[in-house]
Chains A and B, each alone.
Chain A
Amino acid sequence: MLETVLFYTISLALIVFAIGVVASKSAVYSVLSLVAAMCMMAGLFILLKAYLVATILVLVYAGAILVLFLFVVMLIDIKKESFEIRGFKISPWVAAALSGIIFLETFSVIRSIRVVKVPAIHGTTEAVGHLLFSRYLLPFELTSFLILAAVVSVVVLAKKEEK
């Protein structure tokens, strides 16, 4: 019973914050509502007993990645941006209709999935860590190369050109 109430409350908040991300005029408010949406999603992960992933979502995603977003949004002077629209523009109604069609298709796929009863698993740090360092050891090591490539490319992109 408690789980049902929590699920509906958190999902409602999550959807409201997600609409806030795409609908708000200012980019700062968008980033802040994405932070709130990530916290709500961490709540859903906890309901699904994925504790480690929920913690990482709040710490890394809401804490680091979105703060980086906030830095860039505040660095870029939005007032300089011109809001006049030229060329091809999709009206919000067409976009909503397209997304609605895709949602309905996804929903019909979801309805066709059969639910099987399995014992509940707990995604604790120990369990996920065991899996990460045994079966997924090679991909885990390869992600460090990805991070290294990202760091090097950002440094190369962001440095000033030498005259």
Chain B
Amino acid sequence: MINLHHYLAVSAILFSIGLVGILTRRNVLMILLSIELILNAANLSFVSFSSFLGDLSGQVVVFFTMIVAAAEVTVGLAIVVLLFRKKETTNIDELKTLKW
């Protein structure tokens, strides 16, 4: 019988995979993709809680998360395109003008 714990475990695995992606990849686009993965792991746990606690509010929250993710992706990709136009790179090791 599949219960809440199975879905939450899948969500935790997805979160860890996304975290590995953020820590190891050096390309800004890949980091954005890993952030998408982590956001969707959170969505999965929201939906599973909503389903197993009998409250639809979790699915409404997932709806809002998707809207925020859409806004984040559009702005993030615009910044990436702008960075590439100015600096000719998407490697975060070369984008260090904000570092001290």
B residues near A94, Cβ cutoff 8 Å: 23
Chain A 99-130, CB within 8 Å of chain B: the 1/0 string? 11011001100110101101111010001100
Q: Are A4 and B1 in contact (CB under 8 A)?
A: yes
**Interface residue range, chain A:** 35 or more
A95-B12 contact in complex given A38-B40, A146-B67, C-beta closer than 8 Å: no
Q: Are A48 and B47 in contact (CB under 8 A)?
A: yes
Task: Please report the number of residue pairs spanning A and B whose Cβ atoms sit closer than 8 angstroms.
Answer: 229
By DSSP majority rule, is chain A's interface helix, strand, loop, or mixed?
Answer: helix
Contact of B59 among A52, A66, A89, A90 (CB under 8 A): A52
Contact B40 A69 (CB under 8 A): no
Are B13 and A15 in contact, with the CB atoms below 8 A?
yes
Q: Is the CB of A158 within 8 A of B84?
A: no
Compute how far the CA of A60 lies from the CA of B5 in the bound complex, rounded to whole angstroms: 28
Interface size of B by CB at 8 A reads: 73
Main SS class of interface, B:
helix
Q: Is the CB of B9 within 8 A of A60?
A: no
- A162 lies within 8 A of chain B by Cβ: no
Residues of B1-47 at the interface with A, using a CB-CB cut-off of 8 Å, are 1-10, 12-21, 23-27, 29-30, 32-34, 36-37, 40, 43-44, 47
Give chain B interface residues in 43-80, CB to chain A under 8 Å: 43-44, 47-48, 50-57, 59-60, 62-64, 66-71, 73-75, 77-80
Report the minimum CB–CB distance from A45 to chain B (whole Å): 6
Known: A3-B2, A139-B64, A149-B71. A98 touches B12 (CB 8 A): no
Task: Find out whether the CB atom of B56 lies under 8 angstroms from the CB atom of A99.
Answer: no
A31 to B32, CA, bound (A): 11
Complex interface bits, A66-95 against B, C-beta within 8 A gives 1, otherwise 0:
101100110110001111011111101011
- A50 CB, nearest partner CB in chain B, Å: 5
Q: A22 near B29 (CB under 8 angstroms)?
A: no
CB atoms of B67 and A50 under 8 A apart: no
The chain A residue sitting closest to B68, CB to CB, is A146
Partner of B14, one of A14, A45, A64, A96: A14
Contact residues in B for A103 (Cβ distance below 8 Å): 12-13, 15-16
